[in-house]
Amino acid sequence: MNARLSGGLIDRSKPLSFTFNGRTLQGFEGDTLASALMANGIRLVARSFKYHRPRGIFSAGSEEPNALVTLGTGARAEPNTRATMIRLPEGLVARSQNHAGPLGFDLWSVNDLAAPFFAAGFYYKTFMWPRAFWEKLYEPAIRNAAGLGRLSMQPDPDSYDKGFLHCDLLVIGGGAAGLAAALTAGRSGAEVVLADEDFRLGGRLLAESDPLDAATAADWVAKAEAELRALPNVRVMPRTTVFGVYDHGVYGAVEEVSDLPGAPLRQTLWRITAKRAVMATGATERHIPFRDNDRPGILLAGAMRAYANRWAVTPGAGKVAIFTNNDDGHRTALDLQAKGVNLLGVIDSRAGATPFGDYPIFAGGRVTGTSGRKGLRAIRLSWNGREEELSCSALGVSGGWNPNVQLASHHRGRPKWDESRLAFLSHGGPEGLLPAGAAAGEGSTAQALASGQAAARAALEQLGTPAADTPLPQGEDRQIRTEAFWHVPGKGRAWVDFQNDVTVKDIKLAHQENMRSVEHLKRWTTLGMATDQGKTSNVTALAVMAELTGRSIPETGTTIFRPPYTPVSLAVLGGGDTGKDFRPTRLTPTHHWAKAQGAVFTEVGQWMRAQYYPQPGETHWRQSADREAMAVRSAVGLCDVTTLGKVDVQGPDAAEFLNRIYCNMMGTVKVGKARYGLMLREDGFAYDDGTCARMGEEHFVVTTTTANAGLVLRNMEFARQCLWPELDVTLISTTDAWAQIAVAGPRSRELLSRVVDDFDLSTEAFPFMGCAELTVCNGCPARLFRISFSGELAYELAVPARYGHALMQRLMEKGADLGVTPYGTEALSILRIEKGHAAGAELNGQTTAQMMGLGRMVSVKKDSIGAVMSRREGLAQDGRRLVGLQAVDPQQAIPAGAHLLATGAAQTMANDQGWVTSACYSPHVGGHIALGYLEQGEARMGETLVAANPLQDQQIPVRIVPAHFVDPEGDRLRD
């Protein structure tokens, strides 16, 4: 175990236990998993993706490429979690991943020995022979070796939520720049949201030893946080990662609400709409590739400093060295030294570099190699013309800093190279997103504070809010000089992208094979495609490619980032709308009544509808459906048809408006009558049908199919507002306002007569297709339509939705002696197939009025939507027609979806003559029947064809009959 250093922002009075690979270890409150592992002397924590190289902790932040672990157990196991970002809770269970056998003896590490065969792009060049071996042999082997962690394969048991926030200023990042921005805007009274991915505000300030004014940085941060939290107009959100920038100032963020198993809420997805935002996201340190630079114990120098200052740990028990091309590496040396770490010295790539304190410096030196299989033991130093091996347990590497400009790229803005800073700065970023602090290349504390404040002031000015005077503390203001030294040339493998095992050699090979554009380089080598998205590798790789092509970095290309900034769980993106809550559930007014009757329900869009009502003794749904259908044919049945769309159309021009909406004449319908209507799309195809009832001179009620209720209203509103606003007509959906019950069957009139109040139901007074407003059950307002879907004498009775349940009960009660029977969607379907009425399968958006046998409905006397295009050659010449089909052997079911072929014809597309749309067993016919579309169907009555269903190895002989299996003359419904 490494001894803890002094100080740090850990609470030594609150020890915490956790396990790593089954070993119980101790940390303190304030630790991350990474710092706690380090404090326990654990260096080997992971294996790399491709070569399974031993890896340790490399960074102290969200850029971590190496230290990915699986957290938790059972259904809560969470793979690929960055140890550097996990706040250590009591009882944390962590395991390493992606190895076969123990972490220390990973069998897959043979890949490392075979590395020469696995050079960039090798798999595009081999595994092609024999052909069948790819799926059977090569690919499964590759797939098993690839991947990182493992999913539990159990449903995620935790809860997630989503929320919306609106603010004047969103401050992204709670470091020096972010705090200065939030304080400035907060004191000015602006609505501010301050979000930071860390569990503690302060950002890089927490990792440094410099004071702010006279206080420690941590004390100043605590004071600033307290002030912000006290302001009612500021919302402080630690552990909240702003992961993406979307249009019009919308930012996506994820808040880690709780990391405790079984907490009521685990994460929240926030959609934050901000008038302005400050991108105070800091900077990420680069490394410098050299031979074998990936061993555990080699870290980013700035991370090493953070571990020492914030967590009081050091990654090695022995000597520590720094390899740098800039001044900031020296700062780490000084801080480590101040903490009593045994410093080997600073290897500075710059010839003539001088130390900033009392430690050895190797100016102009290079690290050219390392040793130590599972942890660094020694480095190879090339200096002053000599090569020597120096024993060393940890090495900090500093190659300069990359501003974290990712968010500014999310609208595809391309960062621009700044030669003076040797870094890409944001360019052409989303409107309203203002970079500040290290993210804008302003790296010293003083610069960061000032630029954060300046960004907030700029935002306030744009919003017209006067900025309150906000004094800033005094912070360090070092100038960091950096040399453009990108990698140490030489033999061996020097890693650029650690997680995906991409080396300088791979980049050279990509160059050699003409994969030179940045995108080709990335895709050929997989560089920057790992879970860290190239945060520590992209710019370095670009510099190496620039060197190879002899061009400058900006000439070579730039690198663009896509959301999310760091990976986001699918569960939180779903926001909890899963399982039964995936979509809203709409219940009909009689749902609870039907449920009490034991109905089985089915999903119809968002609605739940009664499918059938099984009675004692019925063991198969068809027994129930057949009984229900027969009850309608012989007595009377009740079906809740509330789900059909209803649109109230009112106004002086209502009749003219409907003439233009329906393909058939609708304006001539008399008051008190209804008419069947067909709607076309403007492209001439049919898309919806229903009835249109004229309740008054200027008042119509339009019904639509259940599926198209929303679409029809939308299209009618389009016609009303966008095509013919001069027509004086208004529309309102009343689908949910009225409960509507179909009362169908020869005894329906008798049943209805028992509930209507003083209403003459005789055919003379209320004929087929009649409609009326009336009252029922002693004063309940109602609408009655004499329309029929089944072909029987039938009505639909509508009452205000809240009376639907009671009406159903009353009708059941009053009709008991008449044999009244509730029926569900199965019987409904049987009845309409028997009658040859089109439903969804026939009216599927690909068919025309003509195909349905309704060609003459398309009026030529008036204009209507779709009329002109319905006459195009391709539609007019289409010879397919709706026909009835009867199984030659009545007991053979006709599968819907079978294709119609001539008997004995080969089963080819050329012989395809049509298809079966809907099918059922008809209790009325006493055999299986179907509807279908058939080439020249009208002219082929009596012909026998095959309903071919090769998918299920069926060939069913069927006879073509008219699509009316019951009462073709329509006497019953006019009775």
**What is d(CA 403, CA 409) in angstroms, rounded to the nearest whole number?**
12
385 contacts another protein (rule: CB under 8 A): no
CB of 38 to another protein, least distance (A): 24
Contact string 399-428 vs another protein (x = CB under 8 A): -----------xxx----------------
CB of 33 to another protein, least distance (A): 16
Neighbour tally for 465: CB within 10 Å = 18
134 contacts another protein (rule: CB under 8 A): yes
CB of 155 to another protein, least distance (A): 4
CB of 845 to another protein, least distance (A): 3
Q: Which of residues 561-580 bind another protein (CB under 8 A)?
A: 562-564, 567-571, 573-575, 577-580
Q: Are strands 944-949 and 899-902 parallel, antiparallel or unpaired?
A: antiparallel
152 contacts another protein (rule: CB under 8 A): yes
CB of 565 to another protein, least distance (A): 11
Q: Identify which of residues 105 and 718 has a Cβ nearer to another protein in the complex.
A: 718
State in Å, rounded, how far the first CA of the chain is from the last one. Answer: 95
CB of 826 to another protein, least distance (A): 9
Which amino acid makes up residue 706?
T
**What is d(CA 175, CA 445) in angstroms, rounded to the nearest whole number?**
9
Q: Which of 844, 903, 936, 944 binds another protein (CB under 8 A)?
A: 844
386 contacts another protein (rule: CB under 8 A): no
Q: Which of 7, 26, 29, 78 binds another protein (CB under 8 A)?
A: 78
Q: Which of 102, 718, 728, 971 binds another protein (CB under 8 A)?
A: 718
Contact string 89-128 vs another protein (x = CB under 8 A): ---------------------------xx-x--xxxxxxx
State CA 239 to chain mean position distance.
21
951 contacts another protein (rule: CB under 8 A): yes
555 contacts another protein (rule: CB under 8 A): no
* Contact criterion met (CB below 8 Å) for 485 and 399: yes
249 contacts another protein (rule: CB under 8 A): yes
Rounded to 10 deg, the angle between the 176-187 and 445-463 helix axes is 30
**What is d(CA 329, CA 301) in angstroms, rounded to the nearest whole number?**
6
Q: Which of residues 428-457 bind another protein (CB under 8 A)?
A: 431
Q: How many CA atoms lie within 13 A of 601 on its CB side?
A: 21
> What's phi and psi for 163, nearest 5 deg?
-150, 165
Q: Identify which of residues 59 and 451 has a Cβ nearer to another protein in the complex.
A: 59
492 contacts another protein (rule: CB under 8 A): no
CB of 212 to another protein, least distance (A): 36
**What is d(CA 297, CA 397) in angstroms, rounded to the nearest whole number?**
11
Q: Identify which of residues 249 and 316 has a Cβ nearer to another protein in the complex.
A: 249
How many residues contact another protein, by CB under 8 A? 139
Contact string 635-674 vs another protein (x = CB under 8 A): ----------------------------------------
690 contacts another protein (rule: CB under 8 A): no
CB of 815 to another protein, least distance (A): 29
915 contacts another protein (rule: CB under 8 A): yes
Q: Which of residues 847-906 bind another protein (CB under 8 A)?
A: 863, 867-869, 871-876, 895-899
355 contacts another protein (rule: CB under 8 A): no
Buried b (16+ CB within 10 A) or exposed e, 622-642: eebbbbbbbbbbebbbbbbbb
Q: Which of residues 42-71 bind another protein (CB under 8 A)?
A: 49
* Contact criterion met (CB below 8 Å) for 873 and 909: no
Q: Which two structure tokens, joined as six digits, stand for 264?
A: 């009521």
Q: Identify which of residues 202 and 528 has a Cβ nearer to another protein in the complex.
A: 528
Three-state SS string over 480-528 comes to CCECCCCCCCCCCCEEEECCCCEEHHHHHHHHHCCCCCHHHHHHHHCCC
Q: Which of residues 803-842 bind another protein (CB under 8 A)?
A: 840-841
Q: Which two structure tokens, joined as six digits, stand for 389?
A: 């091996």
Which amino acid makes up residue 844?
N
Q: Which of 657, 687, 766, 921 binds another protein (CB under 8 A)?
A: 687
**What is d(CA 844, CA 846) in angstroms, rounded to the nearest whole number?**
5
**What is d(CA 168, CA 223) in angstroms, rounded to the nearest whole number?**
23
**What is d(CA 457, CA 177) in angstroms, rounded to the nearest whole number?**
12
CB of 901 to another protein, least distance (A): 8
Q: Which of residues 580-609 bind another protein (CB under 8 A)?
A: 580-583, 585, 602-604
Contact string 293-332 vs another protein (x = CB under 8 A): ----------------------------------------
CB of 578 to another protein, least distance (A): 4
**What is d(CA 744, CA 311) in angstroms, rounded to the nearest whole number?**
78
Q: Identify which of residues 245 and 449 has a Cβ nearer to another protein in the complex.
A: 245
Long-range pairs of 893-896 with CB within 8 A, sequence gap ≥ 24: 893/919, 893/921, 893/928, 893/956, 894/919, 894/928, 894/929, 894/930, 894/947, 894/956, 894/958, 895/919, 895/947, 895/949, 895/952, 895/954, 895/956, 896/841, 896/930
